[in-house]
Structure 1
Amino acid sequence: MAYSDLFIGSGNKKIPTLLGLFVVIFIVFLFLNILNRSAIPSKASKSNIRRIEVTNLSPIQVTIYWQGQDKEMGWIVYGEKSDALVNIALDNRDVNEKKSPYLNHYVTLRNLKPGVHYYYAVISQNQKIVRPDGSFFEFTTPLVSSAKTKIDPATGKVLNANLSPLVNATVLLYVDEKTVPLSTLTKDSGEWLIPLNSFYDKSTLEEKSFSGEEKARIEIINEEAEMSSIVNKLKDLSLSAETIIIGKNYDFTQDADVLSASTGFKNNRNESEIRIIYPEENSLIPGRKPLIKGISLPNEEVFITINSNKTYSARIISDKNGNWNYLVPEDLDLGLHTITIKTKDNNGKEVTILRSFTIVANEGNEGKVLGTASGEPTIVISPTAIPPTSYSYPTLTPTAAPPVSGIASTWSIIGAISFLIIGGGILLVF
C-alpha cells in the first residue's frame, strides 16, 4: 500500500531553530512597539493648556509646569528625537502610576544627559498637546552646574482664607524674562522652599550669578486658580519666611509713602504722622511670629513693647525714610496681644501708640506673618488674578513617586512573556 509523504512524515521538515527564534523576537518587538505607541495618542491638540513653562533647569533634570483649562489627568512624554518620545514622566504628586486630575501640573524629568536637546509633549484627555505650529515643545540641558549664586533659599508659607495650610500649590519664582524660572510645591504644612543657587540664561544656557539686589517675583497658584504674588529683592526672600493668605498680593520693594498709601494709612511727612502699619488694629494673625512695621521720623529711636504672657521689648532706629520693623524673636501664645510703641515727634514730644492683635493658629517657626483673615493692611491688595490664557514656549531652554521612564509596564511584560511562550511552543511543535 502506498502512503503519501505527508502521512509518513518524510516531507515534514523542522523550521531551523535560529529562524524560529528570529520570528519570535520579531513578534515580541512588534508587540512592544504597538504598546509604546498606544501610550502616546496620535491626535494632536494645540489649545488645551493656558500656560506651560520649563523650570528648575539643570544638567540632569528639569521640571515642566503647565496649567490646563480644567482639572484633568496629564503626563509628559519625551525623548532625544522628535519621532521617538519613548520616555514617560508622571506628575510629582501621582503615586504608583495612579494618576489624579490637576489644574496645575508639575512633572519632573529625571536622569537626563548634560548638554542634550530634548523634545516633549503633554498628554491630557487622551490628546497630545503640542505647540500652535504643530511642533513639539523642547529644551536643552546645560553642560555644567556650579551654583554661582550664593544666596540662602527663598522660603514661605501659604494659608487658605480659613487659615488652613494650602497644600500642593505651585510656587514659581521669576527674576527676569531671560532667566529660567525656579519652582516647587507647597508641603502639607503650606510651607515651601526654593534654593537660590543655580540660574540659567534661557537662550545661551550659561549659568548666571546674582548679587541678591535683583528684584524677584513669586507666583503661588492653587487648584482653584487663585493666585498670590510676592515682589521683593532676591536676598530679602531668604531673610525670613513669609506667611501669606492665597489671593492677596504683596510688594515689598515700595517705599514708605507707597506702603502707607496702599495699606490705607496716610503718611504725610509734613504732619509728621507716626504710625504702626501692621498688624492692623484687632487683626487676626495666622502665625506665631508677627512682623511689626511702622513709620516714624527718619533716624529716630522707636521703643517697642509687646505685652503677652511674656513681655518683649526692643529699641530700634528707623531708617532715613522713617521706616522701621521688628520681628518677634519667639513664638507668641495663642490669644490677644498688645503692642506699645514710643517715639518722638517733630516737637520732641513723646508719642505713644497702642495696637491689639490676636494669634489664631499654631503655625510654628515660619517667621514673619503678613496676612490676616480680617482685612489686614497688606502692602498691595489687588483682585485675585488668573494667569492669562497664553503659551510660554522655551526655545532652549524637588516629591512623590519618581516618573516612569521608558515603555516598561505590567501589560507589556505580560505580553512579552506570552509571546515568548507561544514562540517556544511553535518551536517545539515543529
Structure 2
Amino acid sequence: MAKYKIPTILGILILLTSLGVGVWLVKSERLALFPKAAPEFTPKQVRVTGVTETGFTVSWVTDEATVGLVKIGKTADKLDQVWGDDRDQKSGTVGSSETHYVTVKNVQPATNYWFVFGSGPGRVMYDNQGQPYQVTTAGVVATKPLADAAYGTVVDAAGRPAGGAIVYVQLPGAVPLSSLVQDNGNWAVALATARTSDLKSYATYDAQTTNIEILVQAGSRGSATATIQTGNDAPVPAITLGKNFDFRVAQTSETASATVSQPVATESSKFSVASPVATATVTLVNPAQDNAVVTATQPAFKGRGPAGEKLTVTVNSPTTYTGTVTVKPDGTWDWTPPAGLTPGTHTITIGFLDDQGVTQTLKRTFVVAAAGPAVGGLPAFTASPSATATPTAVPRVSLPSTASGVPTSGVATPTLIMLMLGGGLMTLGLLWQIRFQKLI
C-alpha cells in the first residue's frame, strides 16, 4: 500500500505549487487574460460630430498610438454593429494612431442609437458610467441645401503635412462638423450639410459674413485654432499646429502675412481659443463669456496668463471645488473639477497676483446643461475636452475625473483561471499516478 502513496503526495504538491504560481502570475499581471485600461490609451477630447439622417462620427485622441473602434445598436443591451477607424475601413487593415476617427454610416433617420467605443490593445470598451452613450440621428428634410464647402490644409511647425489630424468646424447654432486630414495635409467639410442644434433642419448662415470656428487636434503633435468668415473659407489659409489664427482681418497680402506670423486669437471661440496675454494678465477663455452653456458635467476650464503664474481656481456650486494650477511655459492653463457638477448655474473665480503683488480676481458664471442627451441629441461629453469614460469589458474600469487622467483598473477575479488550471493539473497528476502504478 505504501508504494501507492508516494505519487499521490507528489501530485498534491505539484497541484499546490501550480496553484501558487498561477495566483502569482495573475496578481503580478504576467498572465494577461483580461484586457485592462491604461492611461496612455484612455480616450480624451471625445466628440460626436457630423450628425445627419444616415450617420455620425465619433472621434477622440490617446496619448499613445493604438487601435480604435465603435460598437452601436438600437438598444443598450444589443450593440450589434462594429465600426472601425475610417483609415482602417479604407485600407482593409487595422492600424494604430493617436487620433481616432470613426464614421458610422447607413443608419436610420430620426432614430436613437446607443454606442460605446473601444481603445487600446485589449479593445477595452468605454461607456457612460455603466450605460452606453446615446445619439439621435437627424430627421429627413425634403429640401436639400445648395452645395457649399470649407477646405484647406494643416501643417506641423516644420511645414510638413499633418496627416491624421482632426479638424472640427463650428457654425453658429449648428451641430459641429469634422474632417480627417489626409496624408497630403488637405481637409474639407460640407458646410451646407450642417444641421441645426435641434436636428430639425439644415443650418442657415450668410455665405460671406458668418464666423466659423475651427479646432485642429493632432495628439502629441499639438493643436491649433482659427476663426474665419464664410466668404474666405474656400480655401482656408494654411493652419499650423501650435498656433492660433484669426483670418477675419482684411485680406491684403501685408495684413495676411502679419496675421500668420503673429496670430490673433478670439475669445468668442466655442473651442476654447487662446487669447493674447498682456503682462501679468490672466484670462479665462472657456467659458468665454457669462452665462455660457456647457454640456459636460466636468468641463475643462482654460485660459492664458504669464508663464509660471500660480492661480487659484474656485467653482461655486452646491459643492464648492477649489484647486491651484500653474500657467504652462506656453502661457496656457487648464483645470478640471474633481467631480461632476450638477445641472444649473455655477460661478468660477480665478485668483492671481498682478505685477504690483496685489491679489486680483476674475469671475464668470456658466450653466451646466441638464444630464442626458444634450442639445441636438448629442451625448453630454460632446463639448467636453476630455470625456469621462467607463470600460465595459471585464474587468470594469472606472475613470476618475479628467484632472488626473489616470484610470483605476478593476480587479480580475482569478477563480475561473484557478479552477481550470487546477482541474488540468489534477488530471495530469492522476494520469501520472496511473502510469507510475503500471511501471511498478
Which protein shows a greater Rg?
Answer: 1
TM-score normalised over the length of structure 1: 0.49
Which has more helix, going by share of residues? 2
